[in-house]
Amino acid sequence: MRFIILNSTFLLFALLSFGQQTKIELSKANIKIGEVSTLQLTVEMPASASFLFTPLKVIIPSRIKAANGTLATEVSNEVEILEDFKDTVLLKGKTKIWKGTYDITAWSEGVFVLSGNKIVIDDSTYEFQTRELLVELEAANKDKDIYDIRESFAEIPDEPFHLDVWLKKYWWIVALIGLIGIYFLYKFLQKRKDYVPVLPKIPSLKERSLMAIDALEKERLWEKDKLKEHYIELSYILRSYLSARYELNLLENTTFSAQQLLKQKGLHFETIKTIGTVLNQSDMVKFAQSEPEELIVLKVSQQVRQIIAETSPLEFDNAE
């Protein structure tokens, strides 16, 4: 038992030391209207890891936070990107450190919760945490005009920690700890019973994508008046899978552009047609406020599963 506890403690520290770590910071969390603040994204990853980051172009998606802590349902376009995105990569021993920066400002007062930044590392997608930007009016000055006056917002304290929210975002950490624990349990039993353990299988790109769809369906967002969020996440899963499968960047392409790029990769016409149907259905819900029935929602999820199955290489249980 003592051996297992020591190994588990070692594994936990190893995970915290070598796992991907994302961080998002603001040089100024409280600015005046038109004042510049720098938004910096930082990711630490193994030096051998590959990554893909698609920078935002014009605005940082944000939601206005009211004085009572509630978030607006619509995405605001008030937080503007002033300079082109800049990034750099540093190597530090066995660790690769990636940093990217935006220079941003806002033209209306209020508390803006910034979001929308994601990065793909070794076929896995990580979402940066949100950050709050408090924007206030400039002090009264007889030589300056003040525009777009709104009610004042009190400074909002940091959101308290919720275990269920943390598990929803970082379930993969718990799963990874479990897999590593299983491995060392087999090693321990091997010494006791002298047999070769069966190491846990690392999920493939196909399996990870299908697991993501299953998890999304279990949330049943359409029953919680979050049909739009369901289709946004389903579209993101499909685009991320196709981007990783064919070494493309389809996360910000239009449906037509995505179909053309996939056509160049030699995909079958019927498969490309099905992909277009799924993405167009998602666009209808996101932009045209379409509300399909539950059977149609589940049918679209099944079509995404079919696309993944048709475009994935054959898998064999005994393959090395």
Lowest-confidence pick of 1-10, 141-150, 278-287? 1-10
pLDDT category at 175 given cuts 50, 70, 90 is confident
Pairing relationship of beta strands 131-136 and 30-32 according to DSSP bridges: parallel
Pairing relationship of beta strands 118-121 and 86-92 according to DSSP bridges: unpaired
Tens digit of pLDDT for each residue in 154-172?
566 666 777 788 778 888 8
pLDDT of residue 38: 93
pLDDT of residue 142: 60
Largest distance between two CA atoms of the chain: 86
pLDDT of residue 5: 46
Domains in the chain: ranges and CATH: 18-137 (2.60.40.10), 159-202 (no CATH), 204-311 (no CATH)
CA-closest candidate to residue 130, choices 97, 105, 158, 107 = 158
Span 172-177, average pLDDT: 86
Span 218-242, average pLDDT: 87
Q: What is the pTM of this model?
A: 0.39
Q: Rounded distance, CA 36 to CA 316, Å?
A: 55
Tens digit of pLDDT for each residue in 17-61?
445 688 899 999 999 898 999 989 999 989 888 889 899 988 889
Q: Is the dihedral of CA 110, 113, 116, 117 positive or negative?
A: positive
pLDDT of residue 299: 86
Cβ atoms 189, 12 nearer than 8 A: no
pLDDT category at 320 given cuts 50, 70, 90 is very low
pLDDT of residue 150: 53
pLDDT of residue 288: 60
Q: Rounded distance, CA 7 to CA 184, Å?
A: 8
pLDDT of residue 14: 40
Lowest-confidence pick of 53-57, 74-78, 158-162, 309-313? 158-162
Higher pLDDT, 96 or 18: 96
Higher pLDDT, 155 or 214: 214
Query: CB atoms < 10 A from the CB of 306, how many?
Result: 13
> By CB neighbour count within 10 A (0-12 exposed, 13-18 middle, 19+ buried), where does 118 fall?
middle
